[in-house]
């Protein structure tokens, strides 16, 4: 398999038009089903279906770096930690290593932080094209009063966040109240203004793959620019069956409307080999256009360190110690 190397900052970045959404179509929602056994069988074959080696593997891993939302969402986050993370975002691998790989200008896709850390991240990334993403709307549970969730979005945008990762109310999915989910998502999307909105479904708490598919569709109808698996705080986060379900719903939405919606798996993706599996699945199911930062992201923190180790092994033939690749 071939893959295009990431674009350098000197080349204009691709920017997909915003998803305008459409009126809630309950007939379409009710038609959505998910054959769980077939999806799980297909997902089980994915890790062994693609084998990329040597220079091709290095190119895929460089691409993966450009698609990472480098994330810190800890209770003990400080502004200094965020500034160090932003430095890593701007220089995600050592210059010597990138020189040997023939890569210049490589950065991650975004830096994702809590609302209070947005000003520090924005200041640290000033002068770059790296956007700041803020988790919002009572992350991770999404159970704070609705007017406060909307206000939180507005404050994050005012502080300079260019992307907002919102969490949906899982109870709307579990009770089949699709109108309430649509209305909630629509209002959150409006509060984001020009900032792109990623709808976090918390798929590990939705019960069934059919619920995952229907929630994905409703959020896209309401104008979500991305749909995202998880907060990273649930007991089950991104999985291959969930990803297959969500990206096929994205494909169906694109076939019906012509609108491309992005996808972000988050939580539990920490190994380079896992990133390769996800990228090959996106290429197979959605095509090369989705292998760009405006349509695909990894929500990850430790993934970058393992990718660096694999790239260093490719160049030197030896694995480096993990402490040689700190995140912050």
**For the chain, which residues make up each domain, given as ranges?**
113-297
Average pLDDT value over all residues in the chain = 93
Long-range pairs for 312-316: beta carbons < 8 A, 24 or more residues apart? 312/97, 314/54, 314/57, 314/58, 314/101, 315/97, 315/100, 315/101
Residues near 141 by beta carbon (within 8 Å), at least 6 away in sequence: 167
Catalytic residue among 63, 198, 264, 283: 264
Q: Say whether the peptide bond before residue 140 is cis (omega within 30 degrees of 0).
A: yes
- What's the pLDDT score for residue 8? 47
State the Cα–Cα distance between residues 231 and 221, nearest whole angstrom.
21
- What's the pLDDT score for residue 284? 94
Catalytic residue among 63, 88, 198, 228: 228
- From the options 3.40.190.10, 3.20.20.70, 1.10.150.120, 3.50.50.60, give the CATH code of 113-297: 3.20.20.70
- What's the pLDDT score for residue 1? 45
Q: Are 202 and 225 in contact (CB under 8 A)?
A: no
Residues near 201 by beta carbon (within 8 Å), at least 6 away in sequence: 168, 173, 212, 215, 216, 219, 227, 228, 229, 230, 246
* pLDDT, mean of residues 17-37: 97
In the numeric block, the tokens 């640290």 are attached to 124
Active site (annotated) includes residue 306:
no
Q: What percent of the chain has pLDDT over 70?
A: 93
pLDDT in tens, 274-284: 999 999 999 99
Helices 209-221 and 36-45: angle between axes, nearest 10 degrees: 90
Residue 26: pLDDT over 70: yes
- What's the pLDDT score for residue 9? 43
**CA of residue 203 relative to chain centroid, distance:** 14
Active site (annotated) includes residue 228:
yes
Nearest CA among 141, 118, 305 for reference residue 231? 141
* Distance from the first to the final alpha carbon of the chain: 33
Active site (annotated) includes residue 264:
yes
Q: What's phi and psi for 214, nearest 5 deg?
A: -70, -40
Lowest-pLDDT range of 75-84, 279-288, 318-327: 318-327
State the Cα–Cα distance between residues 113 and 124, nearest whole angstrom.
13
* pLDDT, mean of residues 72-99: 95
Structure tokens at 226: 């991305």
DSSP state of 266: B
- Look at the alpha carbons of 187, 191, 193, 199 in this order and tell me if their dihedral is positive or negative: negative
SS3 state at 259? coil
Q: Are 199 and 219 in contact (CB under 8 A)?
A: yes
Residue 53: pLDDT over 90: no
Catalytic residue among 165, 274, 294, 306: 165
* Global confidence as pTM: 0.93
Under the banding of pLDDT at 50, 70 and 90, the label for residue 15 is: confident
Residue 12: pLDDT over 80: no
């Amino acid at each position: 398999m071939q893959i295009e190397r990431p674009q350098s900052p000197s080349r204009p970045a691709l920017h997909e038009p915003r998803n305008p959404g459409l009126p809630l179509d309950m007939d379409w929602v009710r038609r959505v089903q998910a054959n769980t056994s077939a999806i799980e069988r297909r997902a089980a074959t994915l890790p062994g279906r693609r084998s990329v080696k040597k220079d091709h593997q290095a190119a895929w891993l460089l691409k993966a770096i450009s698609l990472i939302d480098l994330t810190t969402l800890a209770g003990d986050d400080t502004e200094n930690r965020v500034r160090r993370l932003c430095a890593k975002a701007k220089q995600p691998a050592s210059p010597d290593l990138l020189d040997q790989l023939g890569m210049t200008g490589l950065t991650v896709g975004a830096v994702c932080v809590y609302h209070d850390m947005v000003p520090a991240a924005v200041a640290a990334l000033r002068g770059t094209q790296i956007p700041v993403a803020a988790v919002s709307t009572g992350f991770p549970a999404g159970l704070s009063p609705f007017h406060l969730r909307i206000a939180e979005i507005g404050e994050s945008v005012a502080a300079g966040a260019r992307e907002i990762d919102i969490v949906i109310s899982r109870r709307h999915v579990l009770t089949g109240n699709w109108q309430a989910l649509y209305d909630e998502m629509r209002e959150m999307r409006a509060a984001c203004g020009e900032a792109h909105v990623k709808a976090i479904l918390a798929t590990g708490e939705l019960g069934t793959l059919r619920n995952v598919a229907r929630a994905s569709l409703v959020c896209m109808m309401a104008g979500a620019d991305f749909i995202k698996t998880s907060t990273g705080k649930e007991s089950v986060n991104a999985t291959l069956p969930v990803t297959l379900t969500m990206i096929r719903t994205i494909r169906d939405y694109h076939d019906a409307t012509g609108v491309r919606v992005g996808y972000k798996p988050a939580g539990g993706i920490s190994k380079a080999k896992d990133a390769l599996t996800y990228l090959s699945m996106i290429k197979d199911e959605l095509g090369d256009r989705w292998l760009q930062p405006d349509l695909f992201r990894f929500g990850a923190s430790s993934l970058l360190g393992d990718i660096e180790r694999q790239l260093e092994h490719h160049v030197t033939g030896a694995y480096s110690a993990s402490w040689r690749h700190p995140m912050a």
